Structure 1
Amino acid sequence: MSEDELADTVALIGTARGIYARDKRALAVLDALERRLTDPLRLAIAGIVKAGKSTLLNAILGEQIAPTDAGECTKTVTWYRYSQTPSITVHLHDGPARRLPVRRERGMLAIDLGELSADDVEHIDISWPAPALKSLILIDTPGIASISQNISARSLDFLTPNDAPSEADAIVYLLRHLHPSDLGFLEAFRDTAAGASQTVNAVTVLSRADEIGSGRIDSLLSAGKVALRYERDGELASLALGVVPVAGLLAEGARTLRETEFMAFRELAALDRPVRERLLVSADRFVRPAAGLRLGERERKDLLARFGLFGVRLATSLIRAGADDSTRLATQLVQHSGLVELEEFVQLHFQSRAATLKTRGVIDRLEHLVSERPRSGTQPIAAGIEQIRANAHGLRELTLLSSARVTGLGLSPGETDAAVRITGGSGLDAATRLGMPLDATTQELRAKALTEIDLWRSAGQSPMLNRRGADVSRVVIRSLETIASDLGPSRAREDLTHVATAG
């Protein structure tokens, strides 16, 4: 999304302010839209009950902040934003917002709603000085498919509202096994969050992936095979950009590893092999009283609660393989948890396109406002929205990437792979888009871009190409022209004119 398109969106909101100057409700919506443009990307975490949403959120934050018990606060939508000063604010359906004291119990943030119930709360806002929140607003949602319809409804009303676009820009959806309810939710989210562009802005996480392999050291390998099978599922492929296996409990424990826990793991690793293997046969055996073992029963139960049996087995194995301090062990545990792959996926597909995703959500909501509250003089807003959509090439790229997964592009497999790469399916930097080495010079990249433009122009003019393929070719050419322009504005314009004349 270019600065001009962002400025056009801000200008449209200004136009709407003039038209709705006497409508307090509409002005509140416009205020929220302006904040959405300046806020970081809104990434919601959703899934069925007990899928591990709050645990994953804590792992991403690198702190045990999100409560994981069954208290009232876990039944509400909770926003996590960056601030240098921690604060907790409860927003009610009826009545003014309330500030709550910030306190922690056993390291976890304690949120006491007092006499309030989850039914009274619209959402909770938590401001926290976590570095991850500088580039993301994380939204924790109650479990879907809960035995309580009220709890499920809070997530569904927020993420897939019937009468407005979704408040989330993208979503991480946790599943343990692929059920029709998962597909139903993801389809509803696509229809409400994708808006007119019909892009796919969800990634699924195969949650608690270590349990798939019964806690064995190679559990994530087994989970990876299951994730790949789900990813190739025809229905799921049209609703999510990928499936990433993650052992959330291990990721949370690794990101918050304490020195005392490292010392406990080191003691386990130093046991004689027969003793250690008997101890790690099962969770029950691990916490059972054992004569001659210096590590107490309470300490072992705490390790199991924090890392799971998979994490305990893996940590002792890594220490024996050379992880000789807590920092090195934590780093290796995170790498084995699948969290790094998820964070890289979010960065590639969502954060790198934050401006485009945010602007799309804003203009969809602005269009809904005009439709919901018609006024004379709104025609310039409708026209402006159409112009932004027509000029916003980032939206066309997202739509192409979605179509590549759902309906195909009408091209050969090789051409499809190239089109996906050029439009940012593997990364947004020029070298990755052009399939060039990362150390390629600007001159080499420019030459490659111009060559590709020539090739795609020729292919797009082929009488054998179907209409769908021709439309895709135009999007790819526009992407290549943008790359060439960014690499050298003045020289690129001369070369593009030459290429266009030659074509």
Structure 2
Amino acid sequence: MTLDEAVWGALNEAAALYRGNPRATNWLGHQLERFAEPVRIAVAGQQKSGKSTLVNAIVGEQIAPIELSDGTQVPTWYRDGAPPRASLVTRNGAAQDVPVDRVDRRLRIDLRSWPPPQVERISVDWPSRALRGATLIDTPACPPSAAERLAREADAVLYLTRHLHGTDTQSLESLQHPPLASAGPVNAILVLSHADELGASRIDALSAAKRVARRYRADVQVSPLCQNVVAVAGLLAHTARTLREHEFGALSALAGTPRAALDGALLSADRFAGTDFPAAVSQEIRQELLNRFGVFGVRLAVTLIRTGCHNQAALTAELVQRSGLAELRESIGQCFTERREVLKARSALLALEDVLRMEPHPGAARLTAHLERVLASAHEFRELRLTAALQCGRTTLPDGLDLEAQRLLGAAGTGVHARLGVAEAATGSELRQLAVDVVDRWRVQAENPLFTARQRQAAATVVRSCEGMVARLVAERG
């Protein structure tokens, strides 16, 4: 039985146990419905960390932020859906549709008639491929005191920061919950969201930021709190995905200007937006480029056009790649959307823990024992923890075994073909034989006397994953 199947059974067992308790029944019913939803990913962080900008970059549309009439922000949930619509949820739980429109190429929602204290959150349905496998939650500033509640509402968290401070570390720590925390940080990715600033906006700033991210991955204070650390230039990523034709034309005009004349104008925002400018690009357009790209983004785009990005599609692809967004999306896929069942099971376990603690029941002993058995046998959590440890270098295996281990643990995809690294055309008998061979080979590694205890434990986890593949393939044959 898989983890999600065991937890689904526990949810239904709890629903039957608490049938006479309306409060618990409603809460458990909500969790059963949530189990079937796409994974919920909260985009969290301190004020001005770039949360809404990153949401726009991931979706590829100008849909965030949404502010109330007094300029404050409440959690906004973005889900895939057509046609576009929005609803407002009040403090008492009532939902009300609100008018939606697009003005100046961005989403607008009319909230003027709603007093801010009455608004709990906003839900937006928006047609987007990026939202088909995940619901994004754009959150207000997230102090440590709010992180625990956030972790229960979302299945996973992208935690954004400009520079990692003690407050950020406290918030990341609050996302972990014993006894689930013992299974490792399975639900958080740390995003250095202003990567260009880490490199002082030099042309090589993004490379410098990626080196900083690698150091954080190996940092003993940071690595236990997240699965991965990714550096992203959020503004550049958003602008790249929403690049307009006239912007590309203006950037091309800048790229065609002699370097000696243009370089001085690219030293600062004031010089770039000034009246004395060496290229035939209007001051209005230059100000728009500054607002959309920043000085760093303009410099990088001009350099890329000069070195071969001669059309809009090529420039967009290169900017997205360099911004770190492609790496972040890959990490979201590997850690979150492909592990949807595991993260949903984690959220349900937290909910069951809350019910058992807040609504004591004389017949709950059997359910509590069931949950303890589920946690004790939750190999899927150990898979995620070891994958993160191997990727970040906290655990190492010699002779290329670490790369094979990551693949077998599901880093490149959780299907049997992806884990075994074979083409989809491979037959069932070929897969079974290969899986058996892999199990035998990794059992040897799990008992290798030259390995440290930690390395042998890692190999044993890989063996368990491979044995699971064998059992699945045998069951499919039968």
TM-score range, shorter-chain basis? 0.7 to 0.9
How do 1:175-186 residues align onto structure 2 when only pairs under 5 Å count?
Answer: 175-186=161-172
Instruction: Name the structure 2 match of 1:370.
Output: 356
Instruction: Name the structure 2 match of 1:236.
Output: 222
Per mean C-alpha deviation after superposition, the further-off stretch among 199-208 and 339-348 is 199-208
**1:156 paired residue among 102, 126, 147:** 147
Distance 1:406 1:300 in 2: 41
CA contact (8 A) 1:73 1:113 kept: no
CA contact (8 A) 1:72 1:113 kept: no
Is residue 2:177 matched to residue 1:191?
A: yes
CA contact (8 A) 1:196 1:364 kept: no
Amino acid at match of 2:194: R
**2:409 paired residue among 408, 423, 443:** 423
Shift of 1:192: 6.8
Deviations 1:113-164 (A, max 9, x none): 325454432221111111111100111111235xxxxxx86x436325xxxx
Is residue 2:255 matched to residue 1:251?
A: no
Shift of 1:301: 0.7
Scaled by the length of structure 1, what TM-score is found? 0.84
Amino acid at match of 1:113: L
Shift of 1:106: 2.3
Distance 1:48 1:17 in 2: 37
Instruction: Name the structure 2 match of 1:346.
Output: 332
Instruction: Name the structure 2 match of 1:18.
Output: 16
Amino acid at match of 1:156: A
Instruction: Name the structure 1 match of 2:295.
Output: 309
Gap change, CA 1:269 and 1:18, over 3 Å in 2: same
Is residue 2:326 matched to residue 1:328?
A: no
Shift of 1:429: 4.8
Distance 1:186 1:420 in 2: 24
Shift of 1:189: 0.6
Amino acid at match of 1:236: V
CA RMSD of aligned residues (A): 3.3
Gap change, CA 1:311 and 1:95, over 3 Å in 2: same
Instruction: Name the structure 2 match of 1:78.
Output: 76
Is residue 2:464 matched to residue 1:478?
A: yes
Instruction: Name the structure 2 match of 1:282.
Output: 268
Distance 1:454 1:49 in 2: 52
Deviations 1:292-337 (A, max 9, x none): 7432211111111111112111222222233233222212211111
Distance 1:16 1:465 in 2: 44
Shift of 1:472: 4.8
Distance 2:405 2:278 in 1: 64
Instruction: Name the structure 2 match of 1:271.
Output: 257
Shift of 1:393: 3.1
CA contact (8 A) 1:283 1:304 kept: yes
Instruction: Name the structure 2 match of 1:208.
Output: 194
Instruction: Name the structure 1 match of 2:154.
Output: 168
Gap change, CA 1:332 and 1:193, over 3 Å in 2: farther
Distance 2:384 2:469 in 1: 16
CA contact (8 A) 1:88 1:102 kept: yes
Shift of 1:65: 0.1
CA contact (8 A) 2:69 2:116 kept: no
Distance 2:220 2:401 in 1: 18
**1:102 paired residue among 100, 103, 126:** 100
Gap change, CA 1:36 and 1:478, over 3 Å in 2: same
Gap change, CA 1:424 and 1:106, over 3 Å in 2: same
Q: Secondary structure at the match of 1:104?
A: strand
Distance 1:424 1:389 in 2: 20
Identity between Structure 1 and Structure 2 (%)? 39
Q: How many residues matched?
A: 476
Shift of 1:221: 0.9
Structure 1, gaps ≥5 residues long: 146-151, 161-165, 494-503
How do 1:367-446 residues align onto structure 2 when only pairs under 5 Å count?
Answer: 367-401=353-387, 417=402, 419-425=405-411, 427-430=413-416, 433-434=419-420, 446=432
Distance 1:117 1:223 in 2: 42
Structure 2, gaps ≥5 residues long: none
Per mean C-alpha deviation after superposition, the further-off stretch among 324-333 and 301-310 is 324-333
Distance 2:130 2:20 in 1: 39
Shift of 1:217: 2.2
Gap change, CA 1:283 and 1:81, over 3 Å in 2: same
CA contact (8 A) 1:200 1:238 kept: no
Distance 2:129 2:348 in 1: 26
Instruction: Name the structure 2 match of 1:92.
Output: 90
Amino acid at match of 1:17: A
Shift of 1:183: 1.0
Gap change, CA 1:237 and 1:71, over 3 Å in 2: farther
Instruction: Name the structure 2 match of 1:27.
Output: 25
Q: Secondary structure at the match of 1:45?
A: strand
Gap change, CA 1:225 and 1:275, over 3 Å in 2: same
Shift of 1:276: 2.3
**2:112 paired residue among 110, 114, 119:** 114
**2:341 paired residue among 355, 374, 387:** 355
Shift of 1:193: 9.9
Q: Secondary structure at the match of 1:88?
A: strand
Distance 1:36 1:73 in 2: 31
Distance 2:454 2:163 in 1: 35
CA contact (8 A) 1:197 1:395 kept: yes
Distance 1:307 1:462 in 2: 53
Gap change, CA 1:407 and 1:271, over 3 Å in 2: closer
Distance 2:236 2:366 in 1: 53
Deviations 1:84-114 (A, max 9, x none): 1222222122363332210233222223432
Is residue 2:121 matched to residue 1:123?
A: yes
**1:42 paired residue among 40, 43, 48:** 40
Shift of 1:78: 1.4
Gap change, CA 1:292 and 1:205, over 3 Å in 2: closer
Shift of 1:190: 1.9
Distance 1:349 1:129 in 2: 23
Distance 2:190 2:338 in 1: 18
Amino acid at match of 1:362: A
Distance 2:334 2:113 in 1: 43
